[in-house]
Amino acid sequence: MSEKLKDIEFTSVIDLYKRVKPALNSKIKELQREKYDYIKEEDIWNYLIKNKWADAKGLVLCDVVNDILHTENDKIAEYVKEKHKNSKEELLIEELDLI
């Protein structure tokens, strides 16, 4: 997958993720100050992939970083709680299938 953000070309989403890791780390520190210790870098990334960038076209690197740094913490927290709630429900369903 070849993505071009401004003048920097990324050969994969993993390359892009690595490039914006400092912004993700900064957001994690902000979240920790607000007592959202359970949120991980991957949670922020996945939230933005699914909710902000799903239909985006022509993203530039500064927009990606801006989205990471300025997404509302409550929205990320709600996404993570919902994700964990759903994964627990799926686990319970799988356990019932074993009986």
The domain total for the chain is: 1
Residue 2: the pLDDT is: 45
3-state secondary structure of 98: helix
Taking the complete model, does pTM exceed 0.85, yes or no?
Answer: no
Which token pair is 40? 């991980």
Q: What does the DSSP 8-state code read for residue 3?
A: E
Higher-scoring residue by pLDDT: 65, 9: 65
Identify the domain containing residue 34 by its residue range: 3-98
Q: With helix as H, strand as E and coil as C, how does 43-58 read?
A: HHHHHHHHHCCCCCCC
How far apart CA 34 and CA 29 sit, in angstroms, is: 9
Give the pLDDT of residue 85.
85
